[in-house]
């Protein structure tokens, strides 16, 4: 059995945590070193279950890969050109575990545990947009079994389900100074907490073709995953808001809550070339349909609200050697 045990540390300074969606592409140590350009790698380790499961059809032995990426998003925001305290969300861990097992009849079974989406934001006291968020966190894990088949010595295919678990939480001061009701004297010391989680399922399919013994191309499709996140909503703080009539008494201080969120589909095309036995290069282009996430509707009895997005579909170019 070939065992590959590894650990990687990645520091990310983000201009805005959600500026380009909330995708995480750091799925293995080798993949991080290659910039994710392993879509057509014909000498794969077990992490090929993430980059292109069709690659595992060319593995000749059992392989195991374990690792984690540590991410610390931070930046210095401004609101209406007024500098704010630094946003530092703390450390997020994106663990990964993969294995692949060759089977009879040119089949290979593979398994992947990894993180595709997540991160968050956390702002210090006095943040001018505390009515929108003080701290927001999204965590996600994908469980992905795959079955690969080597059609010929040059061509392979693979497919499998992607079982996704996701959790979401948001803390804010709904009537902080930039909110509408703050103009009418609503005190800022009312706090809301929203959290929930959900399991859902999508799928992935991929293929690999060897143009020559040293040059290959690969393609991967990942379907959208539709989550219906369910949890609870809590409000704490100054009860005088209700007594003074500023808030309707129908607003629950403790209630159930839900939200619908679609994780976007993506298309990945890549090519790898073995220059020598010890030197290889690769490139990949990932197209993600972020525009499909138009809004998130938070459903809370008598107190729902909508977070709108104006994201565009985004290409991501990777190169490694």
Nearest-angstrom CA–CA distance, 9 and 71: 8
Q: How many CB atoms within 10 Å of residue 86?
A: 11
Distance CA 111, CA 60 (A): 16
The pairing of strands 82-83 and 2-5 is unpaired
Q: Quick one: which H or E segment has residue 31?
A: helix 29-33
pLDDT in tens, 277-301: 889 999 999 999 999 888 888 888 7
pLDDT band at 56 (very low <50, low <70, confident <90, very high): very high
CA distance 53 to 50: 6
Q: What is the pLDDT of residues 211-226, one digit of tens each?
A: 999 999 999 999 999 9
* Residue range 82-105: mean pLDDT, rounded: 92
Chain center to CA of 288: 12
Angle at alpha carbon of residue 32, lines to 291 and 216, rounded to 5°: 80
**pTM for this structure?**
0.84
Is the pLDDT reported for residue 12 higher than 50?
A: no
Res 39: pLDDT: 95
Give me the mean pLDDT over the 307-314 stretch.
Answer: 86
Confidence at residue 184, expressed as pLDDT on a 0 to 100 scale: 53
CA distance to 128, 184, 188, per residue, from 177 (Å): 7, 10, 7
CATH architecture of the domain covering 2-320? Beta Barrel (2.40)
**pLDDT in the model for residue 269:** 97
Q: With 60 as the cut, is the pLDDT of residue 246 above it?
A: no
Predicted pLDDT of residue 178? 58
Domain boundaries, the chain: 2-320
CA proximity to 202, closest of 223, 228, 227: 223
Mean predicted confidence (pLDDT) in 170-190: 66
Query: Is residue 141 predicted with pLDDT exceeding 90?
Result: yes
Question: What's the number of CA atoms in the CB half-sphere (13 Å) around residue 226?
Answer: 1
């Amino acid at each position: 059995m070939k065992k590959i045990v590894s650990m990687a540390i990645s520091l990310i300074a983000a201009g805005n945590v959600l500026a380009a969606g909330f995708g995480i592409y750091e799925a293995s140590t080798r993949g991080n070193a290659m910039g994710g350009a392993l879509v057509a790698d014909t000498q794969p380790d077990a992490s090929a279950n993430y980059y292109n499961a069709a690659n595992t059809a060319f593995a000749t032995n059992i392989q195991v890969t374990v690792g984690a990426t540590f991410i610390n998003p931070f930046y210095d925001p401004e609101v209406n050109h007024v500098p704010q305290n630094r946003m530092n969300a703390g450390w997020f861990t994106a663990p990964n575990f993969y294995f692949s097992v060759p089977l009879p009849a040119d089949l290979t079974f593979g398994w992947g545990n990894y993180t595709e989406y997540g991160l968050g934001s956390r702002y210090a006291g006095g943040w001018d947009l505390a009515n929108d968020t003080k701290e927001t966190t999204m965590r996600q894990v994908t469980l992905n079994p795959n079955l690969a088949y080597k059609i010929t010595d040059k061509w392979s295919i693979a497919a499998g389900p992607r079982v996704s678990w996701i959790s979401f939480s948001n803390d804010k001061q709904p009537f902080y100074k930039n909110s509408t009701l703050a103009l009418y004297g609503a005190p800022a010391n009312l706090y809301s907490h929203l959290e929930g989680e959900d399991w859902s399922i999508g799928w992935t399919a991929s293929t690999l073709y060897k143009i020559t013994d040293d040059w290959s191309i690969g393609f991967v499709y990942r379907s959208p995953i539709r989550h219906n996140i369910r949890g609870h909503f809590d409000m704490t703080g100054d009860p005088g808001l209700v007594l003074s009539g500023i808030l309707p008494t129908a607003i629950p201080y403790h209630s159930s809550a839900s939200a619908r969120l679609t994780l976007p589909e993506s298309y990945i095309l890549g090519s790898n070339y073995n220059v020598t036995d010890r030197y290889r290069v690769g490139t990949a282009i990932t197209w993600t349909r972020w525009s499909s996430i138009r809004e998130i509707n938070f459903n809370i009895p008598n107190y729902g609200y909508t977070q709108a997005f104006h994201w565009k579909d985004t290409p991501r170019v990777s190169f490694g050697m």
